[in-house]
Amino acid sequence: MWVLVRRWWGPLPAGGGAGRRPSPGWRALAWLGGSPGGEDGRGPRVREKPPWRVLFFGTDHFARETLRALHAASENKEEELIEKLEVVTVPSPSPKGLPVKQYAVQSQLPVYEWPDVGSGEYDVGVVASFGRLMSEALILKFPYGILNVHPSCLPRWRGPAPIIHTVLHGDTVTGVTVMQIRPKRFDVGPILKQETVPVPPKSTAKELEAMLSRLGANMLISVLKNLPESLNNGRQQPTEGVTRAPKVSVGTSCIKWEEQTSEEIFRLYRAIGDKIPLQTLWMDNAIKLLDLVEVNSSVLADPKLTGQAVIPGSITYHKQSQILLVCCKDGWIGVRSVMLKKTLTATDFYNGYLHSWHQKNAQAHPSQCRFQTLRLPAKKKQKKEFVAMQQCIK
């Protein structure tokens, strides 16, 4: 049994009824007649059911988990879900390549580097954290289109960095959406499957990525098992609740002590700390804060903190817990280690820098020795722009 898959992005074809809404997606129609190559002009014939021929597009660890699930399915000869699996990734300065390429090479899967997508025939494309715009011509090479595994509950957090923004904004619920790619537009296609999960308290973006990558991989396999039905039952995204998850730049890592609360600073640390260390300015030197910790109530009860007026950015060394205490908009954060020329523990920083400064400047006000907001030049920001790679196709 074969089906004819008809594709259109705009209004229904002539005869579809005046005033009707645009097609929500792809329509799979049973095709029992016609010539083998579509010579009657009705379009190419494609498979109605598995096994599918899949071309996968991906780059990072989130995408690697999706590829791993596809590969496992292709190796399962009893289920016969995937007949052919090939991979497209992007060039990397690392000789080993990105995680998806490493997995593909280890698994002896054919790999292409974008914009090369090979010349084979496929039934469906799958995208996860690819970061490249898909043209209409490319999408139309796949009879069932291209699916995207996106780590958020669309339309919330459309864009290249959904996991980072989920953590950064303190969301308590997140999820994964398997959607259909639309050409020249980002994350707006029909939703084929969506599941929500609670965000574990104080989880980092890296931890959340690992959890969502497993969920997304399982959801994709479920969609592929009933692909024509999933496509026909796709629903349009709501017009309400749209939020954006733009790229994160190095400038985002610069702490604004006067403006950000301790909660906001810890969210920032959990969102990007493993990729970009948080930064500040001390004595005209950029300094990176490597290991942030919450300050417990017993430390905050110290008379040194309660008995004097302090301003945001002020630094105090707490000997008992061996951490630097830094004042922010509404309280204090703890810092266990920093990088100033080299990595230093809080104790090393105090002994080598803070203590000696206070000895030499005994008459100076302590605020002169505080952390201040680092202002990066615009060009430097652009040059060092960081693109989170556990995000969706854009």
Residue pLDDT, tens place only, 84-106? 999 999 999 988 899 999 999 99
Q: What confidence score (pLDDT) does residue 22 get?
A: 37
Q: How far lies 307's CA from each of 254, 300, 394, in Å?
A: 29, 11, 52
**Tokens for 352?**
């080598």
Q: What confidence score (pLDDT) does residue 38 get?
A: 40
| Between residues 214 and 390, the one the model is more confident about | 214
Average pLDDT over residues 290-316: 85
Mean pLDDT, rounded, of the chain: 86
**CATH 3.40.50.170: which residues of the chain?**
52-233
% of the chain residues with pLDDT over 90: 73
Q: What confidence score (pLDDT) does residue 379 get?
A: 55
Pick the CATH number of 250-372 from 3.40.50.2000, 3.10.25.10, 3.30.2320.50, 3.30.230.10: 3.10.25.10
**CATH 3.10.25.10: which residues of the chain?**
250-372
Beta partners for residue 195, in sequence order: 176
- Checking if the pLDDT of 53 tops 80, the result is yes
**Tokens for 237?**
């995204």
- Checking if the pLDDT of 380 tops 80, the result is no
| pLDDT band, very low/low/confident/very high, at 23 (cuts 50, 70, 90) | very low
Q: What confidence score (pLDDT) does residue 73 get?
A: 98
Least confident stretch, 133-142, 144-153, 177-186, 285-294 = 177-186
**Tokens for 233?**
């039952």
Q: What confidence score (pLDDT) does residue 95 get?
A: 86
pTM: 0.85
- CATH superfamily entry for domain 52-233: Formyl transferase, N-terminal domain (3.40.50.170)
